[in-house]
């Protein structure tokens, strides 16, 4: 639909800037701005519920999922040993 629209100078400047920045036609920027404004004026829409889509990740062969906590403990112990050894080497206690 064609229509004549008189824009305030500041609104026209903002629309021109957005058209230049986004490299889109002025008409497209104006229509998008009006759509967004009308949606915002009509109040918040009901948000779509967030859904997590589960998928199998699988484990590498040889990794026992029942022993993952044991692996984490072993890695933590190794890090503590390494930190302590570094402190002894550098004169710390």
Q: Give the count of domains, the chain.
A: 1
Domain that holds residue 32: 9-41
**What separation in angstroms does the CA of 92 have from each of 49, 81, 83?**
54, 14, 11
14 falls within a domain: yes
65 falls within a domain: no
Lowest-pLDDT range of 1-5, 7-11, 57-61:
57-61
88 falls within a domain: no
25 falls within a domain: yes
Cβ(19)–Cβ(29) below 8 Å: yes
Which pLDDT band holds residue 75 (cuts at 50, 70, 90)? Answer: very high
pTM: 0.46
Instruction: Identify which of 73, 60, 38, 70 has the alpha carbon closest to the alpha carbon of residue 30.
Output: 38
23 falls within a domain: yes
28 falls within a domain: yes
Three-state SS at 76:
helix
Other C-beta atoms lying within 10 Å of the C-beta of residue 70: 10
């Amino acid at each position: 639909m064609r229509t004549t629209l008189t824009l305030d100078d500041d609104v026209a400047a903002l629309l021109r800037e957005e058209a230049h920045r986004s490299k889109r036609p002025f008409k497209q920027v104006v229509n998008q701005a009006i759509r967004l404004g009308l949606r915002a004026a009509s109040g918040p829409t009901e948000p779509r519920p967030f859904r997590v889509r589960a998928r199998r990740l699988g484990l590498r062969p040889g990794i026992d999922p029942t022993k993952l906590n044991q692996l984490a403990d072993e890695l933590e112990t190794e890090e503590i040993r390494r930190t302590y050894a570094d402190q002894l080497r550098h004169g710390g206690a």
